[in-house]
Each structure stands twice: as structure tokens, then as C-alpha cells.
Chain A
Amino acid sequence: MFALLIFIVLLAAAPLAIYFVKTAGAFARLGADPSVERTLQAAVDRAPSSGEQQAAALSLKRFRQIEVLRETIVRQAVLVSAVYFTAVLLVALTIGYLFISRITRPLKELTRATQQLAADDLDVKLPEKAGGEIGALMHSFNAMAHNLSAARQEKMLAERKATWQRVARVIAHEIKNPLTPIKLSTERMYEKFLSQSKDFPAVIKSTVDTVLNEINTLQRLVDTFHKYAKFPDPVLRPEPVNEVIESVCSLFSFSHAPIIRNFAPDLPLIKMDKGQVREVLSNLIKNAAEAIAETGRSGEIAVSSVRDGAMVRIRVADNGCGIAPENLEKLFQPYFTTKKGGNGIGLALAERIISLHGGGISCQSRAGEGTTFDISLPC
């Protein structure tokens, strides 16, 4: 921008400079005829009177002064013009630079703010000092950022509300399931009691078994929710990551889905809570096996590890039923599940564990083709 300004100023000034130099050159070449000096000197010498002699001498003096001063004046004119031209050029460039800066600085701030906004920083706010169109643009940007922030807040509230509704629905459903057999068994026992039935003692035993069984189910449900709500911070220790993965893989042996291992050698020790990471991997491998089973055919689970810059990536991939696109973004939300009998805790817990390790977990899936989970852990 500034180079363009220099070019424009030079382009505008060049014709003037060329014109001036040519004019000065022409002026410098304006010389009187040397014979005039001789004539004037002769006039001085031959003047008939003292008065005329003095007048001729003055003319001669003037003629000679013009000859001398002409060169001096032209030289000075060029010098003064050059200095003046340079000064004007510098002033013009300085003013131009300041003017351009006045425009470009807010635009740079706007670019930076837009990048921040794109990076999900909705608290960005631009100073609204500039006037005119730039000021209006800044104001509009701030209004947009504010609206986005408000919309984000509303969305978060809505999501939280939806999550709580889903939690309530899951809990209600999970509690309702054991309550039905309890209720039916109790009613049956009461009928047997009223009818003085002979198999009443057997029914009592059966009812108590059912009730205790369902209470255990309820207890497990409560434990699971409690586990997520009160999850302990990981205790990080350097661990050989491949050994941790292998220790999990060796726990599973699926007839319909063999586990294919592909571990990168010489991986560095990773700081992790081994127990928590094993829980994550167990969950992913179990999910993969269930996804393959749902297809009704055999498949395979690929578990791999690889160094990726400052991270180690662990991948668990299957060629099972896959996940519907609309469910992908809710996958790590707590209490979200598409599985019959699932409680929606497993992946939410996995995401939380990996996040506490300073890493990340992502999922790519195509319905009917399979799913790939990538876990990144810092080296």
C-alpha cells in the first residue's frame, strides 16, 4: 500500500520535475552575445563626456552582473527546488502513510478480531474510535459478536435443558424398568396371599428374588451415574502406551470380531492414569464389538498407535454398523445413547478422561460402513 503511494506521488511529481529542470536549463543557456560586452566597454572608453562614460560603465556593470548571477540563480533555483521537492515528497509520504495507517489499522484489527471470532472467542470487542464507514463497520462487528455470544449462551442453555430432559428421561426409563417387575411380583404375591394359595411360600420366595434382583439393578444404575458425577482427577505417571493398549486388547476375545493390532515401535512414555485410559479403551473396543455384532456378520477391530508430532494417536476402528450423522455430534454428550440398554455414560466418560489428560478424542463414522475413534495424548 505504502509502495503504491510512493509510486503515485513520484508519478505525479515527475512531469513537474522534468518541466522545471528543462526550464532551468533553458534559462541557463540564455546568454548575452559576448560582443555586447566589447561594445559596452568601447562605449565606456569612447564616451564624449564623463556623464555618458559613467552611464556606459553602469550598463557594462549590469551586463556583467547578469552574466554572473544568471548561473548562480539557476544553480540556486535547482537546489532550492530539489530541497523543496524532497521536503514536499517526504511530507506527502508521511501524511499519506498516516492516512493509510488510519484506514489499514482498523482493518487489521478487524481481521484479527474476525480470526478470534472464527477461533470461537466470542468475547472479542473492537474499539469504536474510528468514525465514518470504518467506525460503522466496527460497530456492526461488535454487534454481530455480541449477538453471536448471546445466541451461543441461548444455545448452551437450550442444550443444558435438553441434556437434563434427556437425563431425566433416561433415569425415569432406567428406574421404570425394574419397578415394573417389582410391581407385578408384589401384586401376584398379594393375590396369592388373599386366595390362601398353596404355592404362596414359593411365590414369596420368587417375589423377594425379583425385588432384590431389581434393587441390584437400580444400585448399579445409581453407581454408574455417581461415577460420572464424582469422577476423580487422573494420577499421571509415565507409562508405555503400547503395553497399556495390549493389556486391554488381551482382555477381549470376540469370535465375530478379531482384534488386529498395529502398534508403532519406540513410542515415548506417556504420562497417563493407566486405569482410566484402560477404561476408555475397554469402552471403545466393547462398543466396536457391539457395532459389528449389530450388522449380523463378522468383522474386525483395528487397534493402532502412532506418533503424530508432539502427540501419540491411538486409533480404534471397526467395520460395524456405523453411526448416523445426526447422532455424531451428540456422541460425547452425557446420557446420550442409541443403544438398547445403554446409559449414555461410556463415551462421555471417555471424552472427560482424555480431556483431563490434556488430549482429545474424535470420531469419524459412516452409517453402515464403520466407525473410527482417534485418541490423542501429549508426549
Chain B
Amino acid sequence: MNFILALLAAAKSIGMAAGIVTAGKSDVIIVQPRIIIAPREIRLSCVLSNAWPADLKKLARTGTDIILYLIIETRRNPGNTVVGRVTVERRLQYDAVARSYIVISNPPADTADFGALDSALIASVTFDNVPAMPKASLDAGAEYSFVIYGVLGTTKVEALDNSGIDLMYFWNYRRPMAETERFRGSVLKEGKAASR
């Protein structure tokens, strides 16, 4: 078993090295990022496309927890400084007793059951109205952009003596990334809606 773990570790190292070399060229892409200007905050919606390669889907079907994070960074310009960061977690589980798939979101804390895997997969990569930045924190005179990352977490595998494996392996250690255009703070504070 240790040998297998060593192999996985080696594969991870190689994958990370390969990821560094090909940074920014992820098969997984973030589509339809939309800025929604709510009364009190700026929200963001998007979908992760190609997030479920065949091997990861097979692993999900086994009942292994699949943990996915969506990270939204608010950047202020000039200077491109990060002024806010929000992380949303999605956890896909399988209940062998109930024979259903469960998607757990946080925040906001929410749980949804699905009878079919495909429905659960779609739900797990669809992010609607994620609060990204309170309006009160925005400076009307500055410009803001939003950078969105997708990251897979580490999960424990019972068949490997509960060892943790980095699920980013299934994404070839490449994080999908998208950046919105820049918006004036005044537009975000007062505008009805801006989308991209």
C-alpha cells in the first residue's frame, strides 16, 4: 500500500511540474461569469465546464467525496490588489443506502439530493448568485475586477487506508481561471446590473 501511495505522490509531483509548465491551459473552463449587482452586495454567477473528466466521474460514482472550491477574488485597480476573497465549497457524496447523490454547498449551507449522477454533477458546478463583495466596501472612485478560480480539494479514500489524495490530479493540477472586465466602483455601487 505504501508503494501505491508513493506512486501517487510521485505522479502528483510530476503532474504539478507539468502544471507549472503549462499553467493557465486548463481543460476545465469557467463559462458565463456574470456580475449581479444586488442591493447590498455584488454577486457572481458562473458554471465550470468540463469539470468532470471520465476518471473523476468514475471516482464520484464509487461514493468517494469529491470536494470542489470556487474562489472569487475582488481586485482593486490601480495596483491589482486583492481586496476581498470568497470561497465556496461544493461536496459531492453518494449515499449507498438511499442510492442517491448529495451535493452539499457552503456558503450558503445547503444540501440537495439527486437520483442521477449527471444531475448532481451539473448542480455541483453551477454557481448562482455567489456573494462576492459587499457594496459598502467598494470605493466609487476605484476600478474593480473579479478573478474566479476553480480548485479540487483533497479527499480521503477508504480503500487506501483512508489516505488523502489530491483530486487536482484529475485536472492535471491546472486551475481554471477567469477574470471579468474592470468596473468602476461607482457603477457597481449604483448600477442596476452589469454583466459580461
Contact = CB atoms under 8 A, between A and B. Distances in A.
Do A and B assemble together?
yes
Contact of B96 (A57, A65, A73): A57
A69 B58 CA distance: 9
A154 B37 CA distance: 104
Interface string B46-81: 000000000100110111100000000000000000
Interface stretch (B3-11, B20-28, B112-120): B3-11
Contacts of B82: none
Contacts of A83: 14
A69 B160 contact: yes
A73 B62 contact: no
B142 interface: no
Contacts of B61: 64, 68
Contact of A73 (B7, B59, B94): B7
Nearest to A47: B97
A65 B158 CA distance: 8
A81 to B, nearest CB: 9
Given A62-B159, A65-B63, A68-B55, 8 more contacts: A44-B97, A62-B158, A64-B62, A64-B63, A65-B62, A72-B55, A76-B10, A79-B14
A71 B62 CA distance: 14
A77 interface: yes
Given A68-B55, A69-B157, A60 B7 contact: no
Interface of A: 41, 44, 53-54, 56-58, 60-69, 71-73, 76-77, 79-80, 83-84
**4 pairs of A and B residues whose beta carbons are closest in the complex:** A64-B62, A57-B96, A65-B159, A76-B11
Interface string B110-148: 000000000000000000000000000000000000000
A167 to B, nearest CB: 83
A28 to B, nearest CB: 13
Nearest to A66: B159
Nearest to A64: B62
B4 A73 contact: yes
Contacts of B64: 61, 65
A84 to B, nearest CB: 8
17 contacts: A53-B97, A61-B96, A62-B158, A62-B159, A64-B62, A65-B59, A65-B158, A65-B160, A66-B159, A68-B58, A68-B59, A68-B61, A69-B159, A71-B55, A73-B4, A73-B8, A80-B7
B96 A77 contact: no
- Of A56, A65, A84, the most chain B CB neighbours within 10 A belong to A65
B153 to A, nearest CB: 17
Contacts of B94: 61
A273 B11 CA distance: 84
B9 to A, nearest CB: 10
Contact of B158 (A41, A58, A73, A77): A58
Contacts of B63: 57, 60-61, 64-65
Nearest to B58: A68
A58 B64 CA distance: 10
A69 B64 CA distance: 11
Contacts of B157: 65, 69
A53 B7 CA distance: 33
Nearest to A60: B96
A64 B97 CA distance: 15
